[in-house]
Structure formats: structure tokens, C-alpha cells
């Protein structure tokens, strides 16, 4: 079975494992204040062109989303998100567990717009019952989105402006950040994410690490006592250095970008091969998640040799699936998959 259902099917990039072995018997302070974490912070700030940013490391995405969002909001405030946003759908209520409502905005492809944000805010402010409603205070977007789509720089700038106009904060979930950076026609880079968000994160779990997300606060006013929040949310890793070591490895020689590029090359190989074969897609994704629509019988046949993430039924005889590439995807596997699809469609 060759698996394509997600981008977290394997362990970690071998260089990370090597570094873990190399450092294994160093004795370090716990909880992320060791030298590896410090160095990783510096490397990330440099990559973001944000020398004054504040960087902390957490273990996983849901934990990061809940910790950051709970840290930014007062109790009666909520977070605007695409209805399909990870925090609205796939975190078992981790945001609500911190007392906050996710305020959903309609979205076809995982993205939301500056004008949706402004409308939501002004609808709240102009409602005579505003005190009876959750106050929008934060915007959550993901780059790339859960549907593989990407914001352009001008879209992000418009969202930033909307946030400024409405005194909202902007949090960008970068769980698949690397794949976005290396996506087709992408014009949003780490310094843009740092500059345009109040806080965002660089995902490690899906991009070469065993686990780990690097949270970058550009807005230093918001990071006060963030480490208390990490501990409170069970995200303060005792051997915090494990996070430092991994991000050090990913960012010291550009490994993060290199492996993201690898995944993207294979994703686009799939995308255009499918296009050539006339396979329709659910979302036109420029990133490492592709969403082809197959006849159910084709899908059944393919599923004997390949695993995908079933996404949704499209009509009585067709379904959409998600196919992911990652830093670990082998070109041979992609070629085998494409060949088998070609035979079937």
C-alpha cells in the first residue's frame, strides 16, 4: 500500500534524527529555554526578517491554535474563521473548550475576504443587541488553507487592512506553511506572513519534523506571559530542546524550504498529470494537497493499492479525495499512482 492520505505519514527528515542522536546526551534545562531553542528562535526570526519577533515552540497544531487564540481574546470575544477552518471543524471544540466562539464566515474554497471581515465586524457594532452577541476580535486564516488554496499577497494585505480598520487581530495558521511558500505562483513569503499577521506559526509536523510548530508573534504586545498559557494548555514540553533541535535543523541551511520544494514539485506533477487526463478537481489547489474527483469504481480500484483521504461525495457516482505529497513522498510512488490512474480513467 502506498499512502497519500496525509502529509504526516512518515517520521522525520533524516537530518533531524541525526541531530537528535548527536545531541542526545547533552544536559539542558527543560521547557524551551535551552540553547537549541534559542538558536532556532534566532534562525526563524532571521528567516522572517523580524528581528524583534517573539518565538515559542509548541508540539502540535490544535494545541497551538487553542493556546494562541485563548491568549489573544478576552472572555466575551470570538474568532472569525472560514466555516471550513480547522478550528471550526476539526479540533473537537478545542477553541470552545477555552470559552470562545468560532464565528464562521461562508467560504467555498477555504478562503475568506477582507470585505467579509469588515461586514461581520460592522454588523456586530451596528446591532442594537451587540452586547448580547460574541464580539469579533480576532481573524483566523490558514495559509495554505485546509482546501489547499492560497492567499495572494494583495489578498492578505487587504485582510490586514480590514483588521486594522476594525481593530481586529490576525492569526495565521501555517501548519502547512512550507508548502505554501513553495507553491505555484505564490507571492507570500515568511517576511510577509510576519509583517501582515499579529501572530502566525510555521508548521513542523507536516514539513519534516517529528512534531512541532513555531509560533511567531510580530505584535509583541500580545505575547506577554504567553509561556504561562503554554503550560496551562499542557503544551510546555519537558524536553523542550527537542523542538529547538528540530527547528534549528530545518532552518540552519534552508532544509525547510528545500523539502517543501520537493513536495511541491511532486504535487504539481500530480496536478498537471490529472489535468491532462481530464480529471476534475474539487478545489483548484496550487499546494501539496490535491483534490481530484474520481468515479466511485475508479476510486475503489485505486484503493486496492493506494490510500487517500476521502473528502466528500460529489454526486451519485463520483467522490472527491485528498491526495497529499510531503517532504517524504517518493517520486516512484507518484509515478506509480499516476500510471495506475491513467489506466483507469
Residue 23 or 219 having the CB closest to a copy of itself: 23
C-beta of 100: minimal distance to a copy of itself in Å?
6
Residue 92 or 185 having the CB closest to a copy of itself: 92
Residue 186 or 260 having the CB closest to a copy of itself: 260
Lookup: cell for 49: 526578517
Q: Which of 114, 123, 88 is nearest to 102 (CA)?
A: 88
Q: Give, as one character, the DSSP assignment of residue 317.
A: T
Instruction: Identify whether the C-beta of residue 249 lies closer than 8 Å to the C-beta of residue 40.
Output: no
Lookup: cell for 224: 506577554
Residue 99 or 254 having the CB closest to a copy of itself: 99
In 31-62, which positions are buried (b, 16+ CB within 10 angstroms) versus exposed (e)?
A: bbebebbebbbebbbebbebeebbbbbbbbbb
C-beta of 275: minimal distance to a copy of itself in Å?
26
C-beta of 175: minimal distance to a copy of itself in Å?
9
In 158-190, which positions are buried (b, 16+ CB within 10 angstroms) versus exposed (e)?
A: bbbebbeebebbbbbbbbbbbbbbbbeebebbb
Angle subtended at Cα 260 by Cα 149 and Cα 267, rounded to the nearest 5 degrees: 55
Residue 151 or 211 having the CB closest to a copy of itself: 211
C-beta of 47: minimal distance to a copy of itself in Å?
23
Residue 185 or 225 having the CB closest to a copy of itself: 225
Q: What beta strand segments (E) does the chain contain?
A: 2-3, 54-58, 77-82, 102-105, 135-142, 169-173, 199-203, 213-217, 289-290, 293-295, 306-307, 309-315, 318-324
C-beta of 77: minimal distance to a copy of itself in Å?
8
Residue 70 or 188 having the CB closest to a copy of itself: 70
* Residue in this structure with the C-alpha cell 483521504, named with its chain if needed: 309
Length of the chain: 345
C-beta of 123: minimal distance to a copy of itself in Å?
10
Contacts of 289 (CB under 8 A, 6+ apart): 7, 144, 147, 148, 176, 179, 267, 322, 323, 324
Residue 78 or 110 having the CB closest to a copy of itself: 78
C-beta of 340: minimal distance to a copy of itself in Å?
17
C-beta of 13: minimal distance to a copy of itself in Å?
9
* Residue in this structure with the C-alpha cell 472560514, named with its chain if needed: 82
Amino acid at each position: 500500500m502506498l499512502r497519500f492520505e496525509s502529509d504526516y505519514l512518515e517520521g522525520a527528515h533524516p537530518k533531524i534524527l541525526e541531530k537528535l542522536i548527536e545531541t542526545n546526551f547533552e544536559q539542558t534545562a527543560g521547557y524551551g529555554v535551552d540553547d537549541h531553542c534559542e538558536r532556532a528562535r534566532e534562525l526563524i526570526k532571521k528567516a522572517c526578517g523580524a528581528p524583534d519577533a517573539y518565538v515559542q515552540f509548541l508540539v502540535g497544531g490544535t494545541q497551538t491554535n487553542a493556546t494562541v487564540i485563548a491568549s489573544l481574546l478576552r472572555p466575551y470575544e470570538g474568532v472569525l474563521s472560514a466555516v471550513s477552518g480547522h478550528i471550526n471543524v476539526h479540533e473537537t471544540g478545542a477553541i470552545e473548550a477555552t470559552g470562545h466562539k468560532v464565528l464562521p464566515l461562508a467560504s467555498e474554497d477555504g478562503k475568506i475576504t477582507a470585505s467579509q471581515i469588515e461586514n461581520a465586524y460592522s454588523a456586530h457594532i451596528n446591532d442594537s443587541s451587540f452586547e448580547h452577541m460574541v464580539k469579533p476580535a480576532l481573524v483566523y486564516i490558514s495559509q495554505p488553507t485546509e482546501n489547499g488554496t492560497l492567499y495572494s499577497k494583495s489578498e492578505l494585505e487587504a485582510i490586514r487592512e480590514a483588521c486594522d480598520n476594525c481593530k481586529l487581530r490576525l492569526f495565521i495558521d501555517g501548519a502547512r506553511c512550507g508548502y505554501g511558500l513553495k507553491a505555484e505562483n505564490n507571492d507570500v513569503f515568511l517576511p510577509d506572513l510576519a509583517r501582515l499577521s499579529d501572530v502566525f506559526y510555521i508548521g513542523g509536523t507536516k514539513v519534516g519534523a517529528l512534531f512541532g510548530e513555531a509560533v511567531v508573534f510580530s505584535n509583541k504586545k500580545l505575547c506577554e506571559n504567553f509561556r504561562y498559557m503554554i503550560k496551562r494548555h499542557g503544551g510546555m514540553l519537558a524536553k523542550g530542546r527537542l523542538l529547538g533541535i528540530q527547528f534549528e535543523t530545518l532552518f540552519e541551511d534552508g532544509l525547510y524550504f528545500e523539502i517543501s520544494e520537493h513536495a511541491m514539485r511532486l504535487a504539481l506533477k500530480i496536478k498537471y498529470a490529472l489535468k491532462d487526463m481530464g480529471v476534475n478537481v474539487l478545489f483548484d489547489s496550487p499546494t501539496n494537497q490535491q483534490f481530484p474527483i474520481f468515479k466511485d469504481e475508479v476510486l475503489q480500484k485505486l484503493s486496492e493499492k493506494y490510500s487517500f483521504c476521502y473528502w466528500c461525495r460529489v454526486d451519485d457516482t463520483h467522490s472527491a479525495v485528498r491526495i497529499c505529497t510531503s517532504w517524504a513522498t517518493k517520486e516512484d510512488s507518484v509515478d506509480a499512482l499516476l500510471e495506475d490512474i491513467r489506466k483507469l480513467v
